[in-house]
Amino acid sequence: MLQTSHAVAASNVVDAEFVRAVLHGLAQPQKTLPCRYFYDARGSDLFELITELPEYYLTRSEAALLVGNASAITGQLTPDQVIVELGAGSSRKMDALLRLAPAGITFVPIDVSRYALNEARTRLSAKFPALVFRPVVDDFSTLDAFPADLRHRKKLGFFLGSTIGNLDPKQASDMLRSWRRTLGDDAELVIGVDLLKDETTLIRAYNDAAGVTAQFNLNILARINREITPAFHLPSFEHRAVFNAGMSRIEMHLTSRVSQVVQICGQTFSFAAGESIHTENSYKHSTSAFRTIVEEAGWRIGRTWTDGLFSLYHLA
């Protein structure tokens, strides 16, 4: 599950890309919807609630690792270097690290949400007035808009929240390879990765007793109803989280309780009872599996910080 907050301002304008993604995904033999569309304002609020649930260990584990190892992570930074946060959201996870960074260092948070970056600027400028804040509104997977005047400077990147788990191994390796080209051969990167563990713990993390994750998953249908057309009867779908052992991933689905037909923008989509929309993958990696992904992308794992549930990997 993505752990970035992409709250956006309300708009009456239909997002054409959103419409295309919905129509394309629902037309597939296994119906899908892209997980990036979880994160409207309502979805972001629900995800914040998820991070506080007793079953959802990921956020707590990563935060504790960042705080407990902040000195080791930032110890070699110099004022002329650049800290880059990929998929930054509001950058709240960076506080413990920025507190120890040299005065005057440049911080480049990258996120698709201008709203989240503005929120981060306001908060961080008050806490760290010496920080040089250079936000970039861009898709972290491409980095097309990275500031040209900073490309020659050495960078320490952060990709937190186990967001890399939303990508299959080839996609993850391809993205890391592209970051190597953009960030530079001398760049370093710290990545948060959820570890492969027992199925019970994993399922509980994505199927909490309070039903908040179910609301979060169903919100993508509610968003279609709000922003495109009132097509879905939400009580006719139920949240389902399963562990696919062969693929080493948690899968989130929305399963149709009944046989039904949905119409969106003149197109008709039929659902059999029990048929699902696949909304998200969250891959869980052993250290050896993640090392293969990293090395295929031209990086090497250096230091590792872990609590046995979650790991921070330092790549160079």
Tens-place pLDDT, residues 241-261: 999 999 999 999 999 999 999
Which residue type sits at 32?
T
- Per-residue pLDDT reduced to its tens digit, 179-223: 999 999 999 999 999 999 999 999 999 999 999 999 999 999 999
**Does 10 score more than 60 pLDDT?**
no
Q: Which of 243, 197, 195 shows the shortest CA–CA distance to 65? A: 195
Orientation of helix 169-183 relative to helix 287-296, angle to 10°: 50
The pTM of this model reads 0.90
**Which DSSP letter does residue 41 get?**
H
Supply angle C-alpha 53, 203, 244, rounded to 5: 145
Contact 166, 280 (CB under 8 A): yes
Question: How many C-beta neighbours within 10 Å does residue 9 have?
Answer: 8
Query: How far is it, in rounded angstroms, from Cα 216 to Cα 214?
Result: 5
For residue 252, the tally of other CB atoms under 10 A from its CB is: 25
* DSSP 8-state code for residue 66: H
Q: How far apart are CA 46 and CA 215, in angstroms?
A: 8
